[in-house]
Each structure stands twice: as C-alpha cells, then as structure tokens.
C-alpha cells in the first residue's frame, strides 16, 4: 500500500538524514522510479522534504526535521524486539517490518533493539513432539479479521462431512498448539478450529460485530465451556504435600488446591472426563492421594491395584 511506503520513506529519511532515490529504493525494495515518486508526493503533501542535485546530493528533511512516528521509549523498543524478534518464529513480513522499524529508531536505541531481537530463541518443538505447522487457511482468516470482512467458510466438524457457511470473523486465538477462529454467525457467536477449515473465501461484505464485543473476555467464557465439556466430572480428593507438584504437573489447569490441613493433607479438586479414566491417571500416585468423591473411582483404583499385584506380585 502506498500509505505504508510513504510512512516508511519518512522514517528512513529521519533515520539516515539524507538518501538518494536509489538508496531509498534498495531500502524499501521498490523501483527507483517508485521511490522518487514517493519522495515527490511527500514534498507535495507539505512534508519538509527537499532534494539537492549533484555529487553528495540526495533527499533530506529541511533543517533536520524529525517526526517520531514510532513513538517508542527505549524500554518499549526492547520489549517489542524481545517479543517479535526471535528468528525461529518471525514470518518474512514481521522480519521486514522490524528491519524498517529499527532504522526509524533514534541512534541511541537502535543498538539495544538489534541486540534484543537476537537475545531470545524460541524452539517450538517440545521434548516429545515436533512443532505443528500453521493451519492451511490461517493467513486468509487473519486478513479477514484485520480487514473486517465476511468469509465463506468450508468447515469439517468432528466426525462430520465438510459444509459451507458464511461467518463474520471477529478474532483468532492460539491456545497451546491449536488455532481457533471466533466468529459471528446466523446462530450466534461460534468457535472454529482453524485446522478443520477446508476452504476460506474472503467476501466483500463487512462483518456484523456485536456491540461491545471483547475477544479476551469472550475467550474466557469459551475456555470455561470447553473445559466443562472436555472434563465434566468433578473429583474431590486430598493429596500428600510432597505429591502436589507431581499432580499439578500431570493435570495442569484441571486441578486446584486448597491450604494444607493440620492432619498433613492438601484438599484438591480435579476435573476429569470419566471415573474410570480418572482412576487410570491417578493410580500411579499410590497412597499419596485419597479419593473423596465420586466413590466409584475408589473401586476402579482397587481393581487396578489387584491387577498390578497379580501381574507383578511375584517379582
């Protein structure tokens, strides 16, 4: 977009002091003719830009005029480059934007920003799993959210054939390794897993955005509903203090703990899918935990214990 180039041109001028059209063209990766046309457009718009012909000439801001379009403090610049700079995660557009921004920063901030960009390395692979590549239609959905336009979505729900529908994209959320699209539909607000999108055609019509919609607040309700569906069974138990960290590491946000009681136990609540599944996951804790309710889990644990004794008791 030309507006982007004009802003970038002004930033380069204030950072470099004086540039030729050829230097600007190389900096912004455009033709020399386009660079010269953008410089002339700035001058015609009233920006104090002038050209000087001859050896050592070029384009510069009159009187060294400066416009701090970045508006960043030193701390803000470091924070931005720490977050967006890791090379393993930055996409080509992000890298290009960072290159332009670092040149627009005052000289005193530039070295720190460049150092921050290379100070953090993000390895998306876990110890046991490789990173999941971005979903096929993520870029199209990102563009639709930013542009505020509707999308003709072909979506395959779990165990269902793909079907077409028109949605109003409101935001994208990445949770762990999974991307989700929050959209307004004829049936109200819905959440779609982006990896199940089979097609996304951007339409010209604007989205219908509910008044007062806030993506972060809405996502809290989505997470609560999904957690309840994924783990509808509430398990009450008590745990020995030395096993609290182990249980927290195994169950993550599904478990909550209370204060340790005088008898040396830590009360806890855990959300699970089924009583049998809960027993299978908790059996390894042995006598470091006790189930309070539902009591049927105790029966499943006893069965598991008996099977272990029969299989390994002689050893």
103/12 Cα distance (integer angstroms): 7
Range of the structural domain that residue 14 is part of: 2-64
Pick the range with the lowest mean pLDDT from 129-133, 156-160, 215-219, 224-228: 129-133
25 pLDDT exceeds 60?
yes
- How many CA atoms lie less than 13 Å away from 154 in the CB half-sphere? 8
Same domain, 162 and 204: yes
Task: Report percent pLDDT > 70 for the chain.
Answer: 83
Residue 135 included in any domain = no
Residue 306, both tokens: 């008996």
Residue 131 included in any domain = no
Looking at residue 91, its pLDDT comes to 64
* CATH code for position 30: 1.10.10.10
Task: Report percent pLDDT > 90 for the chain.
Answer: 47
What are the pLDDT digits (tens) for 243-264? 999 999 999 888 999 999 999 9
308/288 Cα distance (integer angstroms): 17
Looking at residue 112, its pLDDT comes to 76
Task: Give the closest residue to 299 by CA, choosing from 274, 276, 277.
Answer: 276
Q: What is the three-class DSSP state of 98? A: helix
* CATH code for position 253: 3.30.70
Share the mean pLDDT of the chain: 84
Q: What is the CB neighbour count within 10 angstroms for residue 168? A: 24
CB 87 within 8 A of CB 119: no
272/235 Cα distance (integer angstroms): 7
Same domain, 113 and 51: no
Residue 236 included in any domain = yes
Q: What is the three-class DSSP state of 31? A: coil
Pick the range with the lowest mean pLDDT from 3-7, 47-51, 157-161, 267-271: 3-7
CB 182 within 8 A of CB 219: yes
Q: Is the pLDDT higher at 227 or at 185? A: 185
Q: What is the three-class DSSP state of 270? A: strand
267 pLDDT exceeds 70?
yes
Q: What is the CB neighbour count within 10 angstroms for residue 211? A: 4
Task: Give the closest residue to 72 by CA, choosing from 11, 115, 24.
Answer: 11
What are the pLDDT digits (tens) for 37-49? 888 887 776 777 8
The model's pTM:
0.61
Residue 138 included in any domain = no
130 pLDDT exceeds 50?
yes
Looking at residue 217, its pLDDT comes to 93
Same domain, 190 and 236: no
Residue 248 included in any domain = yes
307/313 Cα distance (integer angstroms): 9
Write down which residue in 221, 240, 268 finishes a domain.
Answer: 221
Count of residues in the chain: 315
Task: Give the closest residue to 167 by CA, choosing from 188, 184, 154.
Answer: 184
Pick the range with the lowest mean pLDDT from 39-48, 59-68, 151-160: 59-68
Pick the range with the lowest mean pLDDT from 26-35, 55-64, 277-286: 55-64
1 pLDDT exceeds 50?
no
Residue 186 included in any domain = yes
Residue 196 included in any domain = yes
Residue 54, both tokens: 């001859």
Residue 103, both tokens: 């040149």
Looking at residue 208, its pLDDT comes to 93
Strands 163-175 vs 188-193: parallel, antiparallel or unpaired: unpaired
Total domains in the chain come to: 4
């Amino acid at each position: 977009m030309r507006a982007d180039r004009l802003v970038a041109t002004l930033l380069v001028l204030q950072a470099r002091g004086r540039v030729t059209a050829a230097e600007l063209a190389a900096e912004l990766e455009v033709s020399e003719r386009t660079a010269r046309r953008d410089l002339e457009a700035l001058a015609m718009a009233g920006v104090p830009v002038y050209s000087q012909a001859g050896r050592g000439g070029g384009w510069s801001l009159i009187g060294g005029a400066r416009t701090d379009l970045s508006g960043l403090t030193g701390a803000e610049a470091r924070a931005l480059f720490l977050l967006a700079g890791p090379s393993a995660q930055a996409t080509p557009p992000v890298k290009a934007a960072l290159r332009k921004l670092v040149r627009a920063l005052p000289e005193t901030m530039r070295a720190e920003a460049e150092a921050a960009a290379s100070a953090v390395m993000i390895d998306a692979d876990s110890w046991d799993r490789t990173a999941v590549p971005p979903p096929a239609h993520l870029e199209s959905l990102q563009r639709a959210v930013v542009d505020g336009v509707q999308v003709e979505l072909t979506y395959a729900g779990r165990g269902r054939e793909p079907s077409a529908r028109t949605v109003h994209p409101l935001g994208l959320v990445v949770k762990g390794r999974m991307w989700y699209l929050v959209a307004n539909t004829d049936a109200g607000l819905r959440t779609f897993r982006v990896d199940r999108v089979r097609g996304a055609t951007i339409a010209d019509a604007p989205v219908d955005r509910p008044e007062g919609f806030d993506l972060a607040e809405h996502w809290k309700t989505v997470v609560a509903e999904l957690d309840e569906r994924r783990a509808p069974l509430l398990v009450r138990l008590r745990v020995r203090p030395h096993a609290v960290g182990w249980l927290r590491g195994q169950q993550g946000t599904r478990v909550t703990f209370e204060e340790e009681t005088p008898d040396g136990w830590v009360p806890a609540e855990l959300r699970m899918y089924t009583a049998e599944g809960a027993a299978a996951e908790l059996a390894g804790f042995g006598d470091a935990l006790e189930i309070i309710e539902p009591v049927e889990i105790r029966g499943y644990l006893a069965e598991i214990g008996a099977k272990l004794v029969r299989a390994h008791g002689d050893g």
